Structure 1
């Protein structure tokens, strides 16, 4: 009897994480849905016949509990938990928010990779990190987030070199403008009007399901094929600073 493949998705309670969990479940994976919001991941796990784990990636104890739930084999880790906070210039930035972004986007990814690497090696698995085009270019008002995502990209590049002799693939998916349900809302501290303005008039922003499709594609490659990185933008955003908006 063929053993069912297992995937972990962090930050699965909303946005790209939730969409990725649904897509991987449709691909036949048993998905372990991990996020801080217990009610949401339990609801998602029931929907997709997966498992729910309450997990804040900034907590060593909770990530250890996630690894214990996974057991000795893991086919795919989607390290998605992260996010942006604030749009202030560097000189006015809230450094506590910067610290939170580094703890989630950078340290959280590293902590999950450390805890789950043995299970990934046993399954000849795949690490898929959800980064951002902010890892490739700086922009005003993005200092803390840009720095965090640059750090993620650098870290994943080092990881790929360090595990070259182990049967684990490492991919970074860097989305551009994605109109997900919470990313901008969180960034603007719940200000729905400011969050909506980010996408106002944009001709065809990406959806969270578009990125989930990319996750599915990367995970489905043969084990000798590694997609190092994938930059995904809407056609309306050829560069970070240039976006087609309807008048």
Structure 2
């Protein structure tokens, strides 16, 4: 085993992934950052004395090349890469959008977990932390594709705990509610005005709030598994029930 704690964060070029990489580095981990926006990734890695590696979780070859560049022992894998695309109803769903969401949120998570399983196990204290969503156990109109993908993340997390029972492996799922990042900007294909309306007149979570939960779960004793953390702003009761202030 190794005394150096190694953490991997996917989708770490912005938002929750970036905040998580920074928070883990501050907690003493050596962080390997993976994402497609390599220039942005390198700048973050330089700030935290980490290492940036190109990664597209939707591409098997990219995942394998990323894994091959890692140390033999990895303590924490944060499966953060993913996101939502579109808000169309099921009767009019866009197959390309749904396929993209399942490729990143579900298959990408599975590819990374498969590729790093041996390294996580070899550390003697492997921990997979999956960034899910309240959409993993709630639904809302127009969100069927995304909620289906995040329900699948929850199913994978639950199944991994069964498959790894008795191994030195932990599995945590962190399910945020409304977080102000570029999530909505991506979902609405760069429409900044439409994305801004999602957070208007409310107090959403920050990426740092979610990163705090990741670090807390990761730093519990090795025999303690935090199965799930649901984290919402006080202005949100369900995925589609948000309090908005008037006159703000």
TM-score grouping bracket, smaller chain normalisation:
over 0.9
Q: Which residue of 1 aligns with 2:178?
A: 177
Distance 1:49 1:71 in 2: 16
What residue is the counterpart of 1:77 in the other structure? 77
CA distance in 1, matches of 2:65, 2:6: 16
Structure 2 residue 225 is matched with structure 1 residue 226: yes
Superposed CA RMSD in Å reads 0.9
Query: Residue deviations 1:20-39, cap 9 Å, x none?
Result: 00000001111000001111
Contact between 2:138 and 2:238, CA under 8 Å: does it hold in 1? no
Report the Cα distance in structure 2 between the residues aligned to 1:88 and 1:3, rounded to whole angstroms. Answer: 48
Confirm or deny that 1:146 pairs with 2:120.
no
Q: 1:42-90 CA deviation, whole Å, 9 max, x = no partner?
A: 1111111000100000111111111112121001100000000001111
- Rounded to whole Å, the distance in 2 between the matches of 1:205 and 1:131 is 17
TM-score normalized by the length of structure 2 = 0.97
Unmatched 5+ stretches in structure 1? none
Secondary structure (helix, strand or coil) at the match of 1:70 reads coil
**CA distance in 2: counterparts of 1:156 and 1:224, whole angstroms:** 18
Question: Is 1:135 matched with 2:149?
Answer: no
2:120 paired residue number: 120
Unaligned runs of 5+ residues in structure 2 are none
| Greater Cα shift, 224-233 or 59-68 | 59-68
- Cα distance between partner residues in 2 of 1:59 and 1:134: 25
1:119-169 deviation digits (Å, cap 9, x = unpaired):
101111110000000011111010100110001111111111100111010
Alignment of 1:89-128 (within 5 A): 89-123=89-123, 124-128=125-129
CA distance in 2, matches of 1:205, 1:137: 18
TM-score, normalising length: structure 1: 0.97
Partner Cα distance (1:110, 1:192) in 2: 31
Matched positions, count:
244
Equivalents in 2 of 1:161, 1:55: separation in Å? 28
Deviations 1:173-231 (A, max 9, x none): 00000011x100000000000000000111x2100000000000000000000001111
Summarize deviations over 1:80-122 as a string: whole Å, max 9, x none. Answer: 0000000111112211010000000000000000000101011
Q: Aligned equivalents of 1:177 and 1:92: distance in 2?
A: 25
More displaced 10-residue stretch of structure 1: 47-56 or 86-95: 86-95
The 1-side partners of 2:72 and 2:59 are apart by 21
Task: Check the 8 A contact 2:20/2:208 in 1, yes or no.
Answer: yes
Q: Distance in 1 between matches of 2:57 and 2:238?
A: 31
Q: In the TM superposition, what is the alpha-carbon distance from 1:13 to its structure 2 partner? A: 0.5
1:242 aligns with 2:245: no
